[in-house]
């Protein structure tokens, strides 16, 4: 059975306790919108507080360390975020890859650390504008993902999602065309099936991210092989985030 659409808000480095009211409003609405799976990834400092507010939505982190524990000043382990109430972690976001020099191999190590403590994963991939203009976007993304994903899922396919986020669409107000999103998601599906087999690879949700807003969500979510959205800026208020959730609900009803 196909999984419900998955709409995930990535708050990035935004949010203090004053934003808990937004999380609460999102959670209360999500309780009435059960056809869609809704989640938020606040900064580390708010995970526990959002977890305590949340009756319906999933709560996750935006990163974790590949290390178990020890002398790694400033790092946060998978076990620590799980202990704070996180049920999933976003890994390999382009802002981690580009801003912190994270390699595909490091991201794979993080996926394995997160799976080992029972977390769900959202593994991100995406090309630069230069790579797309050079006609190499699909090959680049497939290679990046192939090297970043865990080797084995061992029956954990429901715990893995992939997010395709073209870097040039993040925070810019530009989105990939529906046709380009569908083509990329089909290429990602082929990789997943090749890696994990028909059943497991076929059931992993592939999210689109990059300037998803209430007014473009329906088109993007309706594209072939799009199983949800990873939302940055528009997840910071309940009003705009719920507009995207409602677009996913409407599509389910259509
Ligand atoms: P925006 O929705 O702000 O473009 O961010 C997308 C993103 O990076 C989500 O992880």
Could you read off the pLDDT of 70-125 as tens digits, one per residue? 999 999 999 999 999 999 999 999 999 999 999 999 999 999 999 999 999 999 99
The CA distance from 122 to 245, in Å, is 18
Ligand 1 atom closest to Cα of residue 231: 2
Q: 47 and 83 in contact (C-beta within 8 Å)?
A: no
Q: Band of the pLDDT at 151, cuts 50, 70, 90?
A: confident
Residue 100 catalytic? no
Percent of residues, the chain, with pLDDT higher than 70:
99
Q: Band of the pLDDT at 155, cuts 50, 70, 90?
A: confident
Ligand 1 atom closest to Cα of residue 212: 2
How long, in residues, is the chain? 254
Residue with the bigger pLDDT between 153 and 23: it is 23
Residue nearest to atom 9 of ligand 1 (CA): 232
Which member of 37, 165, 200, 225 is catalytic? 165
Coil, helix or strand for 16?
Answer: coil
Mean pLDDT of the chain: 96
Angle (CA) 240-246-249 rounded to 5° is 155
Q: Which residues pair with 176 in a beta bridge?
A: none
Structure confidence at residue 3 (pLDDT): 81
The CA distance from 83 to 79, in Å, is 6
Angle (CA) 100-211-121 rounded to 5° is 55
- The DSSP symbol for 5 reads P
Residue 165 catalytic? yes
Could you tell me which CATH number the domain at 6-253 has? 3.20.20.70
Q: Would you say residue 2 has pLDDT above 80?
A: no
Q: How far is the CA of 163 from the centre of ligand 1 (A)?
A: 11
Q: Band of the pLDDT at 157, cuts 50, 70, 90?
A: confident
Which member of 37, 51, 93, 138 is catalytic? 93
Q: Tell whether ligand 1 has an atom less than 6 A from the beta carbon of residue 148.
A: no
The CA distance from 40 to 60, in Å, is 6
Q: How far is the CA of 115 from the centre of ligand 1 (A)?
A: 24
Ligand 1 atom closest to Cα of residue 95: 8
Q: Tell whether ligand 1 has an atom less than 6 A from the beta carbon of residue 62.
A: no
pTM tops 0.75, yes or no: yes
Q: Tell whether ligand 1 has an atom less than 6 A from the beta carbon of residue 212.
A: yes
The average pLDDT across 122-137 equals 98
Q: Tell whether ligand 1 has an atom less than 6 A from the beta carbon of residue 63.
A: no
Q: Tell whether ligand 1 has an atom less than 6 A from the beta carbon of residue 92.
A: no
Q: Is 135 exposed, middle or buried (0-12, 13-18, 19+ CB in 10 A)?
A: exposed
Structure confidence at residue 93 (pLDDT): 98
């Amino acid at each position: 059975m196909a999984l419900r659409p998955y709409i995930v808000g990535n708050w990035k480095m935004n949010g203090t306790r004053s934003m808990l009211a937004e999380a609460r409003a999102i959670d209360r609405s999500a309780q009435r919108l059960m056809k869609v799976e809704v989640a938020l990834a606040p900064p580390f400092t708010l995970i526990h507080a959002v977890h305590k507010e949340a009756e319906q939505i999933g709560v996750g982190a935006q990163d974790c360390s590949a290390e178990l524990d020890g002398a790694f000043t400033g790092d946060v382990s998978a076990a620590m975020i799980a202990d704070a109430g996180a049920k999933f972690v976003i890994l390999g976001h382009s802002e981690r890859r580009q801003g912190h020099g994270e390699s595909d191999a490091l991201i794979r190590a993080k996926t394995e650390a997160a799976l080992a403590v029972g977390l769900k994963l959202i593994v991100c991939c995406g090309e630069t504008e230069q790579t797309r203009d050079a006609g190499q976007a699909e090959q680049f993304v497939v290679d990046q993902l192939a090297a970043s994903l865990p080797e084995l899922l061992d029956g954990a396919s429901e715990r893995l999602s992939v997010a395709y986020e073209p870097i040039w669409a993040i925070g810019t107000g530009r989105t990939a065309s529906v046709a380009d999103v569908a083509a990329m998601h089909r290429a990602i599906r082929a990789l997943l099936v090749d890696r994990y087999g028909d059943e497991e690879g076929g059931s992993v949700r592939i999210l689109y991210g990059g300037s998803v807003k209430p007014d473009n969500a329906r088109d993007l979510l309706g594209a072939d092989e799009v199983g949800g959205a990873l939302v940055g800026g528009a997840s910071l208020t309940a009003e705009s985030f719920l507009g995207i959730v409602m677009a996913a609900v409407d599509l389910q009803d259509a």
